[in-house]
Chain A
Amino acid sequence: MRHIISVLVENEAGVLSRVAGLFSARGFNIESLTVAPVGNGETSRITLVTLGSDPIIEQILKQLNKLVPVIQVSDLSEGPHVGRELMLVKVLTERGQHDKNPRDEVLNVVRIFRAQVVDATPGSLIIEVTGDNDKLNACLAMLEPFGVAEMVRTGQVALSRGVRK
C-alpha cells in the first residue's frame, strides 16, 4: 500500500542523504521525496511517498525515527490528510496538420483543471497545475496529445487534517 510519510528533521548538512541512504541501504522504495526548511529554518520537513506491506512500513517508520537528526515521524496515510503536488508542463502549441489552433484547446484544459498558464511563447505554454496525484495524472493525460516538451512534478506534500492533541 502507498503511504505518505512526513519527517521533521534538523536542518543540517547531510540529513537528506541519511534519509535517502537508509531507503537504498535497506531496499525500501521511494516514490517521491520533497524537502524544504520550515519554521525558523532550524528544521526541515521531508515528505516522502513509499510503497510497502505493513511490516515494511513499520520498519521504515522505526528506522527513520532511529536516525539521530530526525525529530518526528508520522504516517499521514493512517488518518485523514490533505495531499498536494505541483506540476509544470510545457505544452507545444504550434499549429498542427488539422489546421486548428491548439492554443484554445489547451486553454480549455487549463480551465477545466483550474490550472494556470505561467508562461507563453509563440510555440508553447507552461501550465502550472496543483492537486492530488490523480488530478495531475488526469490533466497530463489531456495535455499529452498536444505534445508535451518537458514536464516536472514536485512530488507529494501533505498535512494531516485538524488539530492533533
Chain B
Amino acid sequence: MQLTGAEIVVQCLLEQGVRTVFGYPGGAALFIYDELYKAEPRLTHVLSRHEQGALHAADGYARVTGEVGVALVTSGPGATNAVTGLATAYMDSIPVVCLSAQVPVPLIGNDAFQEVDTVGITRSCTKHNYLVRDVEDLARVIREAFYIAKSGRPGPVLVDIPKDVSNTRCAYSPSHASVNIRSYRPTVKGHIRQVRRAVEMLQAARRPLLYTGGGVILANAWKGLQQLTKSLNLPITNTLMGLGAFPAADSQFVGMLGMHGTYEANMAVSHCDLLVAIGARFDDRVTGKIADFAPHAKIIHIDVDPTSISKNVRVDLPIVGDVRSVLEQMNGLIEEEKIPEKQADISDWWAKIEGWRKKDCLRFTQGEQEIESQYVIQTLCKLTKGQAIVATDVGQHQMWAAQFYGFQQARHWLTSGGLGTMGYGLPAAIGAQVAKPNEQVVVITGDGSIQMNVQELGTCLQYQLPIKIVILNNGFLGMVRQWQELFYERRYAHTDIAVSPDFVKLAEAYGALGLRTDKPAEVEAVLRQGLAHPGTVIMDFRVRKESNVYPMVPAGKGLNDMILGELL
C-alpha cells in the first residue's frame, strides 16, 4: 500500500493503539494535520493553547493510564515550546512520544522560516530522538519511538518529521511485530542470586524500611509492593513520585520522606539497619546530606536503570530489573520459603516508629480568621475520599498536597517531581481528564503557578472538561518566600506577586465557574459547591499569607536535622 508520510504517521499511531493526540498545528505540520482531520473520530486531537500545555497533557495522560502519551507540534517555536514538557517527562521517566514537524529536508540548515535544530535542542531532555530524512524510515522510527518510550526506564522520545517527508509516498505495511533494536535491550528479570540475597537480608533485618519511588508506579508494581510490605509487616515510606503506590491510610505507611517528609519517615531512614529502595533514585531532595543518609543501613536497590544504582549513594545489593518482575520473584521466594515464620522480631522497631509518629509532625491549627492551606487540602481529601486524580504545580501547595491528600491508589497523583515545573498542573489535569472522563480531576495550585499555563482554561472549556482548580492564593511565590524567610533574613526579593487577576472573573471570562472565599468557615461549602458543579471551576482560596511547609530539612542537612515548625 502506497501512503504519504502523513498517512503513515496516522496509521502508525492507530497501530500503537493511540486514541488521542495533544497538539498545536503550524505550517510544517499541515500535511499531518490534514490527515488527522480525516482520521477523526478514530483518532481525536485536543488543541492546547500553547505547546508546553500539549506536552504536559500528553504526560498527564500517560501518568494516569500507563500508556504512551502523544503530542504533536510544529517546527521552530512549536518545538522549542515543547522542550519544558519533554524535560519534565524526562526527569520523571514518563512515556511520551512527541512528533514535531520540521522544515523540508532541502531547507534544513538554511535558517529557514520556523527552523530550529530540534533533535539537537532536545537530545539531552529526551530518552532518544530521531530526525526522519527519508519517508522509508518513518514507520520503523515511529514504532521504535513507542517501544523505547515505554520499555525499560520509560521516557519521552521525539520524532522530527520534515514537511516534505510527510508529503512523500512510500510503501507501507501494517505491522504488530515486536520491535527489535540490537543496541537496546532493557533488563527485565532480576538476577536470582541477588533476589535470594535480598530476601535473606529482609529476613534478618531488625530495623527494615522500604523506600519506594515513582518506578513502582511506572512498572505497575504496586500490588507486588503491597504484598511484600504486608507479608513481612514492613514500614514503608514513599518519595514524592511514589505516592499512591501504598495506601496512605494504612498504618504501615510512615509518610513521605525527604526535605518535606514526615518526622517518622526521616527518623526511620536515619535509624534503619536495612533500607530497600525500590524504583527510587536517591534524589538530593530525598537524601539531604549524603553522608548522613541511612548511616546505619545496608542498602538494597531495585531499579530497571543500572545508571541509577550507586550514582548518589553506594548500595550493598543492587538488583537490576523491572520492579514488577523483581517483586514477583521476591514475593514468590518469601512464600515458598515461609520467610514470615523465620523473620527476625521487628516489634521494637515498630515501637520506635510509633514513638516518632506520636510527634504528629503535620499538626496545624485552623483558627477562625485566616484559612490554612493544609485545611483546604485536608477537606478536599475528605470530600473526595482520597479518590480524586490530583495534579499540582510546584511550590508550597505541592508539598502540602503531598502531605495532606492521603493518596489511596496509584496513578492518581500528577506532579512534576524531578524538574519542578510550575505550570504543569492544569495541562496535566487536562490529559488526565481526557483519559478518564468519569473521574474527579482536581488541580491543586498556587496563585503563582496557575498563571504559568492559565491559558489552558481555554482547552478545558473547548472540550468541556470538568476540572476543578483549587488555588491556594497567598499573594506570594510561597516556597521561595519561605526560603527567604528562613535562610535570607526575610528579604523577600521579588516573591511578592501582589497583582494577580481576579480569578473569579478570569474563570467567568472563559465561561467557567469562579468561586472565592477567605473564611475558614466557608471552605467546605465552597469545595462542595465546586466539586458538584458539572463544568470547569476555579476555587480561589485566600489563605494565610506567610505560612510555611514543615517539617523541613534545610538544603545540605541530614534527614535527622529537621525544622519541625511553629507548633512543635
Contact = CB atoms under 8 A, between A and B. Distances in A.
Given A59-B307, A62-B307, A68 B123 contact: no
B123 A21 contact: yes
B306 A69 contact: no
B120 A70 contact: no
A39 interface: no
A71 B123 contact: no
Nearest to A55: B310
A71 B131 contact: no
A15 to B, nearest CB: 10
B184 interface: yes
The interface size bin for chain A is: 10 to 19
A141 interface: no
B123 A63 contact: no
A112 interface: no
The interface size bin for chain B is: 10 to 19
A25 B183 contact: no
A126 to B, nearest CB: 34
B123 A14 contact: yes
A65 B187 CA distance: 12
Contacts of B131: 13-14
B283 interface: no
A68 B181 contact: yes
Interface string A8-26: 0110011001100100010
A60 to B, nearest CB: 10
B307 A66 contact: yes
A24 to B, nearest CB: 9
A18 B131 CA distance: 14
Secondary structure at the A interface, as helix, strand, loop or mixed, is: helix
B123 A17 contact: yes
Interface in A56-81: 58-59, 62-63, 65-66, 68-71
B310 A14 contact: no
A58 B308 CA distance: 11
Contacts of B181: 68
Contacts of B124: 21, 25
A17 B184 CA distance: 18
Interface string B343-379: 0000000000000000000000000000000000000
Nearest to A24: B124
Interface string B448-469: 0000000000000000000000
User: Lowest 3 A-B CB distances belong to which pairs?
Assistant: A71-B183, A62-B307, A68-B128
Interface of B: 119-120, 123-124, 127-128, 131, 133, 148, 181-184, 305-307, 310-311, 314
9 contacts: A13-B131, A14-B131, A25-B124, A58-B310, A59-B311, A65-B306, A66-B306, A68-B181, A68-B183
Given A17-B123, A62-B306, 9 more contacts: A9-B183, A14-B131, A21-B123, A55-B314, A58-B310, A62-B307, A65-B306, A70-B183, A71-B183
